Structure 1
Amino acid sequence: MEHNITLISTIASGFGLALIFGFIAERLKLSALVGYLVAGILIGPATPGFVADVHIASQLSEIGVMLLMFGVGLHFSINDLMAVRRIAIPGAIVQMTMATLLGMYLTHLWGWTLGEGLVFGLALSCASTVVLLRALESRNMLESMNGKITVGWLVVEDLLTVLVLVLLPPMAGLLGGSVAEASDTPLWQTIGITLLQVVGFILMMLVVGKRVLPWLLWHIAKTGSRELFTLSVISTAIGIAYGASVLFNVSFALGAFFAGMVMRESEFSHRAAEESLPLRDAFAVLFFVSVGMLFQPSILIEQPLNVLATVGVIIIGKSLAAMAITLAFRYPLNSALIVAASLAQIGEFSFILAGLGLSLGLLPAEGMSLILAAALISIALNPLLFSAIQPFKKWLIDISKTASDLEKRTDPFAELPMSTERKYLEGQIVLVGYGRVGKRIANALLSSNIPFVIAEENREIVENLRKAGIPAVSGNAADPSVLIQAHIANASMLVVATPDTIDVRKMVTTAKLLRPEIQIVLRTHSEDESERLRKEDIGRVFYGEEELANGMCKHILAQYAPKSA
């Protein structure tokens, strides 16, 4: 009896080739996504040799989409977004609009319809979360101000793309989609019904899901079974995505995204993310492999200029738009270049949008191939763009006074107001960073009536601090001018509460130069870095896990000690 092993052969070939080419891509200092897409191309119908089942791969990729979106929702933080909302929200909207218009202009020149151009442009407008996070993590920039701006910017892009995924199907007929069913229902009514269904689903998730999911996870966690907990997380993600599609006519992607968002509210959110990560990663790989199977390599030979133009929109058009917006919000040139490089690529959301466009008849097959070719090239070039930031900035500053002025912006928040009370400018503590640790230190200083000045890169935080009557200056404390504005020459102590220790030596050098007797207090996440800083004897160093262990030991010993009579 012969068994049908199409599913097994598709998974085996997909995983096997993804492993090989993902490894090669990483060794070449490229994103592993490039390897996964290449694996899909090799087992796709456009290349000779073994061809995997496209229909099975498509269904596996749907599961990949659900788990990818579930992961996005699980890590979505409204607080992180609100911290950079003033630049992230308008920045993402303007940049996506510019990229979409550029894409539409290209397709107009190629003779495509308006609907095809819109989907194509939207697919070029959204960057890859996976590529961005890896790029920032590899350069220790994720916790930096520039990293937070870029991640917040991308969160807004993701939310806007989710909205597009919701609105595109009901508008397919108006945009010329070939699969749209003829209907006498007015367009506004169709869109209204769709939005009502989405709102109904969201309300149900926020009201019912917020109560039921944490309760469910709590009871499953009490069993002590790791397999059951993992199963509950995965079944919740896929079950809610499927249920949202059947009951509310909502896309799998939106359903899974809100499942992740609601689960984030649970105290088990970190464990849920950790337990589901291997399966999410596995199906994400199959998603990228299945996308690669749709690629037509011949387009690189038949339409090289179209491919170059598409890449140009992503790397040049999006980057210039992001730079202009960042500079318009009075951030320095360095921040503008980092944001521009971060967004100069496309990935998973572009593929999801393009796939929906294909299914609705709103994107030709060559459109998907152009998007895939541009994704491969832009992801491959992204590390080079990051490496070129500092040399390019130095070259710009050398040849242009305007660039030099942009790097040293005249920012009203970079100087303390003349009205600042004298007590804050004599014997004060200069506190660098107002994150989770810095905020706790500041609250303790406030309650003890100890004067301090905060140096913080986030202009919005500085503005809010000043409104609350707390003296603060905006800028990177590695720049001597920032510490000078915080009156470091009169300070009694410099406290660096940021986790990033890359520039800490510059801060200490400036502080010691202007105030040789100043006390230095530093924070670090790395045991190796804490040892190096202690050997240099530049101040008191606090290492997170070490301080946690010390605090727990003190408590244990105090509780265990015999009680005095």
Structure 2
Amino acid sequence: MASPAEHASFLPPVLTFLSAAVIGVPLFRLAGQSAVLGYLVAGVLIGPSGLSLIAEPETAASVAEIGVVLLLFIVGLELHLSQLVSMRRDIFGLGTLQLVLCALVLGGAGLLAGIGLGASAVIGIALALSATAVALQLLEERGDLGTAYGSRAFAVLLFQDLAVVGILALMPLLASAGGGGNAPWLGDAALSTAKALGAIVAVVLVGRYGLNPFFRLLAASGAREVMTAAALLVVLGTALLMQEVGLSMAMGAFLAGILLAESNFRHQLEADIEPFRGMLLGLFFMSVGMSIDGALVKAVWPALFGATAAAILVKVALVAALFRLFGSGPLDALRGAAVLAPAGEFAFVLLPQAEGLGLTDATSTRFAVALAALTMLVGPVAAKGLDKALDALRARSSDPDLPATDVIESAETRVLVIGFGRFGQILTQVLLAEGIAVTVIDKDVEQIRSASRFGFRIYYGDGTRLDVLRAAGIGRAELVCICIDDAEAALKIVDIVHEEFESVRTYVRAYDRMHAVELMSRDVDFQLRETSESALQFGRATLEGLGLPAEAAAARVEDVRKRDIARLVLQQAGALPEGSGWLRGAAPAELKPEPLTAPQRPARALNAETRDIIGHDRREAAERLLERPARDPEAGAEGDEAAVAEAALERADARRE
């Protein structure tokens, strides 16, 4: 059994990483820079080239790769197979041209510098690849992942991840050609391809037919922590399988995300994964900073910094030109090129493997690795500077780029409905009939199953969680309809929405009269007691059944509705005795039902049991009726109550407008 001292030995590096992130990232954010740069600089400072606070940076790097894996999983959740098909021109056309042209130009520069053909090819390809983690983090910070240029940038990154498989298979061919050997590279490549295809087919089949029933079973248990564990199991298990067959872990996680993009549990999974993704991705950036060889930088810094600037400028120029060729505006083309300029994570995989195959020597490998790391360090600064310059240019331009088209599915949602019970089902029928885009969240598995026939988006999730609301796209919705029958949970959701999403209007189902008063005190845009309108319509039908003309019955119901609204407003304002707790800020007393029209006679008990029940309350009721006009003159006359109701309705209409 491990001793307490052995357990404690894990704490110093963990505390070092946490301290570096807590100190470094806020400082760079305050300076107007990207969080990525903060992580990278923090890694340089705590790594071997800085204060040497981390003894084994390689261990940290292997753990940090999980951050990239989780990032690609979340990106996959935001896409659908139909969207990937629509992006095929950008993925295979733009992606191919970017990789080939950048590799040729950067590899040609290596040849001019006196490096051999094989080494130049590998270094050119490694530098032509882009940093998926850096690019997606920059796009996420800008909020541009769903824009036209963000979509094109992601298509290029996706093609690069696919191309890495072929690159790794061709490297033995380059090594055998350079050495004149007869390595059986063709058979190995065919075997690797067969394994990869078999693994992909297996993952697709399991994801298509097994994941939804699996998560449905876990959700029915009600154990939320088990759902989190299951999400991590799916992501990391798929990533490990892909790595075992020669594909990248990130590619496997992306495939898992794509398979779950249509799942009802998508938003809950995203919310569960997000905290792990953020911390581990920060650790990945710090591990990149730690990988920079300080001794090499000091020895050849002029050549290294010059090569870094040249590599970034070359990639920006080539990629911007390709973006323009594929239809992007000039400003969006530059923005897309800037986020793709840093060299990719796979450079740290390809270059050491090339050295092992004899394609590059130790000196060239160290130089290229340091160059790739420096592009990741300088790239976010260049992208931020370019952003500021382009924003200034856009402000002065009389013909700015057209607004980009969102491709993220949740951006289409106009209404977010929380709760798909009886109330929510009727509401969504109305919205569906009008053709309004709706996203529904519910944590009841049976409700989700019954909603599968409706045709709109419905996801498993807890609507009282801020991360679930964000993942569901509440920030892009016009209003949120809270239709759950849990009064406390509804109030919690209202508080979250008002605090975090001020522009989103809140329409709430009130459980009872007291709940309605609480909602009014929170300034919701609209609230309705779940039984009030149905009971009024029932009363109208009853009056008509008793022979009252339809017009007279409707007028009487409308009069009662206005009186009820007037009393509700007075109770909320503390103007009635039972509502005084609201005015003083204390806990409100229970709101007891009171007649809206003065009774013509006292209540009469028709049997002895009833007389025993109501006898002791008769005197108090009579006193309330006698005192009511003096305590509440407005409510004592029908005309005054109607005036109060009209004023309340006008205020409600003004707030909704």
Fold equivalence (TM over 0.5)? yes
User: Is the contact between residue 77 and residue 261 of structure 2 (CA under 8 Å) also seen in structure 1?
Assistant: yes
- Where does residue 237 of structure 2 map in the other structure? 239
C-alpha deviation, 1:353, in angstroms: 3.4
Which of 99, 103, 117 lines up with 2:106 in the alignment? 103
Q: Distance in 2 between matches of 1:111 and 1:265?
A: 52
Which of 227, 243, 261 lines up with 1:264 in the alignment? 261
Q: Distance in 2 between matches of 1:161 and 1:192?
A: 20
C-alpha deviation, 1:331, in angstroms: 4.6
C-alpha deviation, 1:354, in angstroms: 2.2
Q: Map Cα deviations across residues 49-93 of structure 1 (whole Å, 9 max, x no partner).
A: 433223422331243343333333333444445555545653333
User: Is the contact between residue 77 and residue 257 of structure 2 (CA under 8 Å) also seen in structure 1?
Assistant: yes
C-alpha deviation, 1:21, in angstroms: 1.3
Q: Distance in 1 between matches of 2:291 and 2:176?
A: 20
Which of 313, 317, 342 lines up with 1:346 in the alignment? 342
- Where does residue 47 of structure 1 map in the other structure? 50
Q: Distance in 2 between matches of 1:269 and 1:21?
A: 33
Q: Distance in 1 between matches of 2:535 and 2:103?
A: 65
Q: Distance in 2 between matches of 1:561 and 1:114?
A: 85
C-alpha deviation, 1:229, in angstroms: 0.7
Q: Distance in 1 between matches of 2:133 and 2:531?
A: 42
Instruction: State how 1:534-553 maps to structure 2 within 5 Å.
Output: none
C-alpha deviation, 1:230, in angstroms: 0.6
Q: Distance in 2 between matches of 1:283 and 1:95?
A: 29
Number of aligned positions between the proteins:
436
- Where does residue 250 of structure 2 map in the other structure? 253
Determine which structure has more spread, i.e. the larger CA radius of gyration.
2
- Where does residue 123 of structure 2 map in the other structure? 120
Q: Map Cα deviations across residues 202-243 of structure 1 (whole Å, 9 max, x no partner).
A: 111111222111111111111111111111111221122224
Q: Distance in 2 between matches of 1:177 and 1:544?
A: 66
Which of 282, 287, 311 lines up with 1:285 in the alignment? 282
Q: Evaluate the alpha carbon distance shift between residue 231 and residue 127 of structure 1 in structure 2; reply closer, same or farther with a 3 A threshold.
A: same
More contact order relative to length (CA 8 Å, sep ≥ 6): 1
Q: Map Cα deviations across residues 331-371 of structure 1 (whole Å, 9 max, x no partner).
A: 5434434434443x326xx1233234324526612211111
Which of 306, 320, 338 lines up with 2:317 in the alignment? 320
User: Is the contact between residue 91 and residue 159 of structure 2 (CA under 8 Å) also seen in structure 1?
Assistant: no
C-alpha deviation, 1:386, in angstroms: 0.9
Letter in 2 for 1:25: F
Secondary structure at 1:200's aligned position in 2? Answer: helix
1:24 aligns with 2:27: yes
User: Is the contact between residue 220 and residue 229 of structure 1 (CA under 8 Å) also seen in structure 2?
Assistant: yes
C-alpha deviation, 1:22, in angstroms: 1.6
C-alpha deviation, 1:437, in angstroms: 6.4
Q: Evaluate the alpha carbon distance shift between residue 265 and residue 223 of structure 1 in structure 2; reply closer, same or farther with a 3 A threshold.
A: same
Q: Evaluate the alpha carbon distance shift between residue 185 and residue 9 of structure 1 in structure 2; reply closer, same or farther with a 3 A threshold.
A: same
C-alpha deviation, 1:559, in angstroms: 5.3
Q: Map Cα deviations across residues 266-321 of structure 1 (whole Å, 9 max, x no partner).
A: 2111110111111122222222222222111344441323333333332x222222
What are the ranges of 5 or more consecutive residues in structure 1 without an aligned counterpart? 399-403, 410-434, 439-443, 449-497, 502-525, 533-542
Instruction: State how 1:384-463 maps to structure 2 within 5 Å.
Output: 384-392=385-393, 436=412
Secondary structure at 2:384's aligned position in 1? Answer: helix
Q: Distance in 2 between matches of 1:61 and 1:339?
A: 26
- Where does residue 190 of structure 2 map in the other structure? 192
Q: Distance in 1 between matches of 2:71 and 2:328?
A: 32
- Where does residue 374 of structure 1 map in the other structure? 375
Instruction: State how 1:495-534 maps to structure 2 within 5 Å.
Output: none
Q: Distance in 2 between matches of 1:122 and 1:559?
A: 68
- Where does residue 644 of structure 2 map in the other structure? none
User: Is the contact between residue 71 and residue 277 of structure 2 (CA under 8 Å) also seen in structure 1?
Assistant: yes
Q: Distance in 2 between matches of 1:555 and 1:158?
A: 50
Letter in 2 for 1:212: G
Q: Evaluate the alpha carbon distance shift between residue 63 and residue 322 of structure 1 in structure 2; reply closer, same or farther with a 3 A threshold.
A: closer
C-alpha deviation, 1:130, in angstroms: 4.9
Secondary structure at 2:346's aligned position in 1? Answer: helix
Q: Distance in 2 between matches of 1:211 and 1:175?
A: 41
Deviates more, 1:545-554 or 1:98-107: 545-554
Q: Evaluate the alpha carbon distance shift between residue 47 and residue 342 of structure 1 in structure 2; reply closer, same or farther with a 3 A threshold.
A: closer
User: Is the contact between residue 119 and residue 353 of structure 1 (CA under 8 Å) also seen in structure 2?
Assistant: no
Q: Evaluate the alpha carbon distance shift between residue 167 and residue 325 of structure 1 in structure 2; reply closer, same or farther with a 3 A threshold.
A: closer
Deviates more, 1:354-363 or 1:203-212: 354-363
- Where does residue 481 of structure 1 map in the other structure? none
User: Among the aligned pairs, what percent are the same residue?
Assistant: 24
- Where does residue 351 of structure 2 map in the other structure? 357
- Superposition RMSD in Å: 4.3
Q: Map Cα deviations across residues 12-55 of structure 1 (whole Å, 9 max, x no partner).
A: 22222122212222121111122222222233223344332234
User: Is the contact between residue 94 and residue 156 of structure 2 (CA under 8 Å) also seen in structure 1?
Assistant: no
Q: Distance in 2 between matches of 1:114 and 1:560?
A: 84
Letter in 2 for 1:383: K
Q: Evaluate the alpha carbon distance shift between residue 391 and residue 360 of structure 1 in structure 2; reply closer, same or farther with a 3 A threshold.
A: same
Q: Evaluate the alpha carbon distance shift between residue 198 and residue 546 of structure 1 in structure 2; reply closer, same or farther with a 3 A threshold.
A: same
1:10 aligns with 2:13: yes
Q: Map Cα deviations across residues 418-437 of structure 1 (whole Å, 9 max, x no partner).
A: xxxxxxxxxxxxxxxxx836
User: Is the contact between residue 136 and residue 145 of structure 2 (CA under 8 Å) also seen in structure 1?
Assistant: yes
Q: TM-score, normalised by structure 1?
A: 0.65
Q: Evaluate the alpha carbon distance shift between residue 3 and residue 125 of structure 1 in structure 2; reply closer, same or farther with a 3 A threshold.
A: same
Letter in 1 for 2:375: A
Q: Distance in 1 between matches of 2:119 and 2:79?
A: 30
Q: Distance in 1 between matches of 2:105 and 2:378?
A: 18
- Where does residue 224 of structure 2 map in the other structure? 226
User: Is the contact between residue 81 and residue 258 of structure 2 (CA under 8 Å) also seen in structure 1?
Assistant: no
Secondary structure at 2:263's aligned position in 1? Answer: coil
Q: Evaluate the alpha carbon distance shift between residue 324 and residue 165 of structure 1 in structure 2; reply closer, same or farther with a 3 A threshold.
A: closer
- Where does residue 294 of structure 2 map in the other structure? 297
Q: Distance in 2 between matches of 1:260 and 1:173?
A: 32
User: Is the contact between residue 296 and residue 367 of structure 2 (CA under 8 Å) also seen in structure 1?
Assistant: yes
Secondary structure at 1:29's aligned position in 2? Answer: coil
Letter in 2 for 1:354: F
Q: Evaluate the alpha carbon distance shift between residue 80 and residue 342 of structure 1 in structure 2; reply closer, same or farther with a 3 A threshold.
A: farther
Q: Distance in 2 between matches of 1:24 and 1:253?
A: 30
User: Is the contact between residue 244 and residue 251 of structure 1 (CA under 8 Å) also seen in structure 2?
Assistant: yes
User: Is the contact between residue 149 and residue 333 of structure 2 (CA under 8 Å) also seen in structure 1?
Assistant: no
Q: Evaluate the alpha carbon distance shift between residue 390 and residue 6 of structure 1 in structure 2; reply closer, same or farther with a 3 A threshold.
A: same
Q: Evaluate the alpha carbon distance shift between residue 367 and residue 133 of structure 1 in structure 2; reply closer, same or farther with a 3 A threshold.
A: closer
- Where does residue 426 of structure 1 map in the other structure? none
Instruction: State how 1:469-484 maps to structure 2 within 5 Å.
Output: none
Q: Distance in 1 between matches of 2:215 and 2:124?
A: 41
1:73 aligns with 2:83: no
User: Is the contact between residue 126 and residue 157 of structure 1 (CA under 8 Å) also seen in structure 2?
Assistant: no
1:170 aligns with 2:173: no
Q: Distance in 2 between matches of 1:261 and 1:558?
A: 44
Q: Evaluate the alpha carbon distance shift between residue 550 and residue 250 of structure 1 in structure 2; reply closer, same or farther with a 3 A threshold.
A: same
What are the ranges of 5 or more consecutive residues in structure 2 without an aligned counterpart? 403-410, 415-429, 435-474, 479-496, 510-523, 543-657
Q: TM-score, normalised by structure 2?
A: 0.57
User: Is the contact between residue 13 and residue 53 of structure 2 (CA under 8 Å) also seen in structure 1?
Assistant: no
- Where does residue 333 of structure 2 map in the other structure? 336
